[in-house]
Amino acid sequence: MVTSIHRPTKAIIDLSAITQNIENILQQLSQEMNLFAVVKADGYGHGAVAVANAALKAGANGFCVATIDEGIELREAGITQPILVLGVVETSYIHLLSEYDLAFPVTTLAWLKDAAMILQLEQLPRPLKVHLKVDTGMGRIGFLASENVNEAVRLIESIPQIEWEGIFTHFATADQAEKSYYETQKNRFMAILEQLPYQPLYVHDSNSATALWHEPIGNLVRYGVALYGLNPSGQAVAAPYKLKAALELVSAVVQVKQLPKGYGIGYGETYITPKPEWIGTVPIGYADGWLRKLQGFHILVDGNFCEIVGRVCMDQIMIRLPHEVPVGTKVTLIGKNGGHEITLQQVAEKLETIHYEVACGISPRVPREYIE
Ligand SMILES: *Cc1c(COP(=O)(O)O)cnc(C)c1O
């Protein structure tokens, strides 16, 4: 999908909000703690490379991404710091992982045995950096806490081109006020750490929620959503300090008209003007990630909340204006305008989802513009 720069719709990313959010968490963490900025999914829709560079300025030590390709994107943009791929990688990509110096999780013995065979025949540019992933209760990827993780350590030691760089786990409920399941997972992880023959360079268990509300174990946190200024819990648990939202979504009214009473608006004629009304058209739609379920939600024009009337189209929406406004008037879909604000969280609530999904869903058609 081509990025459409010749229209007023754009996401504006405030990089100073990102540096501020990182500086704040670093103040809360102990001195020896490393922070890897999680910039998967194009930096949660904010732009991975720009976010990564801002994070470095604020003191991040490395990065987490979801896929090999996301790691390569950072390397090709000149990032030299450690990068950890969080997802499972296939053994067929071993050479690529070495070439781009991407660390990655090992989640089964079978993977290591397969890699050992391949590496008998293949000389890599540099050793592979692996983090053992332990599934302490997420049910997603990793060795079960009941499995013998030390066997994986021994196997790694027998493979000359693999370096054991880390061990980690991931919590399912660190963003909830109720702590019992978090404690169960944490105890399983601690039990595994205790029986390791020795500890690798990085030991880590913290996403944003763990770093904000719990005591991180180890010496690294994987800081994601909160660096974008979003509360990991939505609104369930208050953040210990103010997180500063980095993303604004703006556009402009491209046509303004007064429609008579009884006039149908949009596909399916789902809205009919109950009286003469000023209607504005804004060039954003579900192909931009502004989904059809947002019919009936509102956006901001000159500090006024204006309802989205009629169905959201692929590329346009119609809004009810309080009065005539000039064509070209700025509108705010996410962010502040005239003393009012619409947050990603509010959009997420209207969509019955979480802000993570809304931020990631702003499509590549929408240009990202950066301000300091
Ligand atoms: C996405 C992810 C993170 C970051 O989570 P946030 O809630 O955004 O902080 C950390 N660790 C793993 C394994 C992840 O997949």
pLDDT at 14: 98
Tell me if residue 121 falls in helix, strand or coil. Answer: helix
Atom of ligand 1 nearest to the CA of 86: 13
Q: How far is the CA of 223 from the centre of ligand 1 (A)?
A: 7
Atom of ligand 1 nearest to the CA of 208: 9
The mean pLDDT value for 264-287 works out to 98
Please give the Cα distance from 311 to 316 (Å, whole number): 9
The mean pLDDT value for 282-290 works out to 98
pLDDT at 19: 98
State the pLDDT confidence band at 268, using cuts at 50, 70 and 90.
Answer: very high
State the pLDDT confidence band at 186, using cuts at 50, 70 and 90.
Answer: very high
**Distance, CA of 338 to chain centre:** 28
Average pLDDT, the chain: 98
pLDDT, tens digit, 9 for 90 and up, residues 47-86:
999 999 999 999 999 999 999 999 999 999 999 999 999 9
Active site annotation includes 350:
no
Percentage of the chain exceeding pLDDT 70: 100
pLDDT at 362: 98
Q: How far is the CA of 261 from the centre of ligand 1 (A)?
A: 50
The mean pLDDT value for 254-277 works out to 98
Residue 161 backbone dihedrals phi, psi, to 5 degrees:
-90, 10
State the pLDDT confidence band at 307, using cuts at 50, 70 and 90.
Answer: very high
Q: How far is the CA of 152 from the centre of ligand 1 (A)?
A: 24
The mean pLDDT value for 306-321 works out to 98
Active site annotation includes 267:
yes
State the pLDDT confidence band at 133, using cuts at 50, 70 and 90.
Answer: very high
Cα 98 to Cα 135, 159, 161: the distances in Å are 25, 15, 10
pLDDT at 21: 98
Q: How far is the CA of 86 from the centre of ligand 1 (A)?
A: 9
pLDDT at 4: 98
Task: Report the residue among 25, 222, 233 best suited for mutation to probe ligand 1: largest number of ligand atoms under 8 A from its CB.
Answer: 222
Within the chain, residue ranges assigned H as helices are 15-28, 40-44, 48-58, 68-76, 94-99, 109-121, 149-157, 180-194, 208-213, 344-350, 355-361
pLDDT, tens digit, 9 for 90 and up, residues 22-58:
999 999 999 999 999 999 999 999 999 999 999 999 9
105 touches ligand 1 (CB under 6 Å)? no
222 touches ligand 1 (CB under 6 Å)? yes
pLDDT, tens digit, 9 for 90 and up, residues 7-16:
999 999 999 9
Classify residue 35 as exposed, middle or buried by CB count within 10 Å of its CB (0-12, 13-18, 19+).
buried
Q: What is the residue with the minimal CA distance to atom 6 of ligand 1?
A: 224
pLDDT at 189: 98
Residue 367 carries which DSSP code?
P
Instruction: Judge whether 46 and 63 are in contact, CB under 8 Å.
Output: no
Q: What is the residue with the minimal CA distance to atom 15 of ligand 1?
A: 86
Instruction: Judge whether 72 and 100 are in contact, CB under 8 Å.
Output: yes
Atom of ligand 1 nearest to the CA of 223: 9
State the pLDDT confidence band at 334, using cuts at 50, 70 and 90.
Answer: very high
Task: Report the residue among 34, 36, 39, 64 best suited for mutation to probe ligand 1: largest number of ligand atoms under 8 A from its CB.
Answer: 64
pLDDT at 291: 98
The partner residues of 11 in beta bridges, in order of sequence, read: 249, 368
Atom of ligand 1 nearest to the CA of 211: 9
**Best CA proximity match to 163, nearest among 89, 94, 68, 70:** 94
Domains (ranges, CATH) in the chain?
A: 32-228 (3.20.20.10), 247-371 (2.40.37.10)
pLDDT at 317: 99
State the pLDDT confidence band at 332, using cuts at 50, 70 and 90.
Answer: very high
216 touches ligand 1 (CB under 6 Å)? no
The mean pLDDT value for 96-109 works out to 98
- Which residue among 241, 242, 257, 267 is the active-site one? 267
Task: Report the residue among 34, 38, 210 best suited for mutation to probe ligand 1: largest number of ligand atoms under 8 A from its CB.
Answer: 38
Q: Which residues contact 207 (CB under 8 A, 6 or more apart)?
A: 38, 170, 171, 174, 221, 222, 223, 224, 225, 232
CA angle 253, 255, 260 (to 5 degrees): 120
Percentage of the chain exceeding pLDDT 90: 100
pTM: 0.98
142 touches ligand 1 (CB under 6 Å)? no
